[in-house]
């Protein structure tokens, strides 16, 4: 094989991977799968896609070897093929944040409307977890919490938060987190908590960012 033929072939293969990521739906699916393995119906429900469309997107990701499937009973569960997939997605997201002012403008405008501009970094949370002055709140769906969560966090899904406010302390700062910075559940939680007199901020990242850094988690690992 000549040099040019070799390079063309390799770059074509790399381009096929990046092409498989060139869809907002598939990027959202990768973020969702970073929480743990999911079946098509769950993915469709959480991304606003039809089951047929969600399945098509998953097949494209599977063909690119970015996700894998495992049969569990009557369902096929999809998960990230390797943690490198999430880290590549994370790097692409950070590139977009740093190079595209429109993205930051949209995020800031949204968070300003939710009064959730203030956040706690992952590094700061890692230090503060040893203290007793905070409560860490996971507001993702309960099954995502069970698949994996930041150690010491408690689970109250965002849709249940209002009815469980009486169980939360007002003498501690409540730090809410969800799937990541593009997930709005933590922002909604902060708005609800602040409206009811609680001290609350969101975590700047989400569970996958925390886990990818090797910080303490409790979970059933789906990504090796």
Question: Could you tell me the CATH number of the domain that includes residue 51?
Answer: 1.10.10.10
Q: Are residues 136 and 196 in the same domain?
A: yes
Q: Is residue 90, in this structure, part of any structural domain at all?
A: no
Q: Is residue 30, in this structure, part of any structural domain at all?
A: yes
- For the question of residue 178 being annotated catalytic, the response is yes
Q: Is residue 176, in this structure, part of any structural domain at all?
A: yes
pLDDT above 90 covers a percentage of the chain that reads: 92
CA dist 129 and 124 (Å) reads 9
Q: Are residues 65 and 129 in the same domain?
A: no
CA dist 130 and 125 (Å) reads 9
Closest C-alpha to 184, from 109, 91, 125, 127: 109
Q: Taking residues 29-48, what's their average pLDDT?
A: 96
- Is residue 184 predicted with pLDDT exceeding 90? yes
What φ, ψ does residue 119 adopt, rounded to 5°? -145, 165
Return the number of other C-beta atoms located less than 10 Å from residue 176's C-beta: 29
pLDDT of residue 38: 96
Q: Are residues 121 and 214 in the same domain?
A: yes
Q: Are residues 147 and 73 in the same domain?
A: no
Q: Are residues 180 and 138 in the same domain?
A: yes
Q: Render pLDDT for 115-173 as a digit per residue (tens, 0 to 9).
A: 898 999 999 999 998 888 899 999 999 999 999 999 999 999 999 999 999 999 999 99
Q: Is residue 98, in this structure, part of any structural domain at all?
A: no
Q: Is residue 75, in this structure, part of any structural domain at all?
A: yes
CATH, residue 171: 3.40.250.10
What φ, ψ does residue 184 adopt, rounded to 5°? -95, -5
Q: Are residues 205 and 111 in the same domain?
A: yes
**What is the model's pTM?**
0.89
Q: Is residue 113, in this structure, part of any structural domain at all?
A: yes
Among candidate residues 135, 175, 178, 189, the one labeled active-site is: 178
DSSP codes, 24-93: HHHHHHHHHHTTS-EEHHHHHHHHT--HHHHHHHHHHHHHTTSEEEEEETTEEEEEES-HHHHHHHHHHH
Domain that holds residue 63: 3-84
């Amino acid at each position: 094989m000549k040099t040019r033929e070799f390079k063309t072939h390799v770059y074509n293969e790399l381009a096929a991977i990046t092409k498989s990521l060139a869809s907002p739906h598939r990027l959202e699916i990768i973020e969702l799968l970073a929480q743990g393995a999911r079946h098509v119906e769950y993915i469709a429900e959480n991304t606003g896609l039809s089951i047929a469309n969600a399945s098509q997107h998953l097949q494209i990701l599977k063909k690119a070897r970015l996700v894998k499937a495992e049969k569990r009973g009557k369902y096929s569960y999809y998960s990230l093929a390797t943690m490198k997939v999430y880290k590549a997605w994370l790097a692409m997201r950070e590139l977009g944040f740093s190079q595209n002012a429109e993205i930051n403008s949209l995020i800031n405008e949204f968070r300003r409307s939710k009064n959730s501009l203030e956040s706690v970094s992952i590094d700061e949370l890692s230090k503060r977890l040893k203290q007793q002055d905070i409560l860490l709140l996971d507001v993702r769906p309960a099954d995502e919490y069970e698949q994996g969560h930041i150690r010491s966090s408690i689970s109250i899904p965002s849709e249940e938060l209002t009815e469980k406010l009486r169980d939360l302390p007002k003498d501690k700062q409540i730090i809410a987190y969800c799937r990541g910075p593009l997930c709005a559940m933590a922002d909604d939680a902060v708005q609800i908590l602040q409206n009811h007199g609680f001290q609350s901020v969101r975590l700047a990242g989400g569970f996958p960012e925390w886990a990818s850094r090797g910080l303490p988690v409790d979970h059933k690992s789906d990504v090796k």
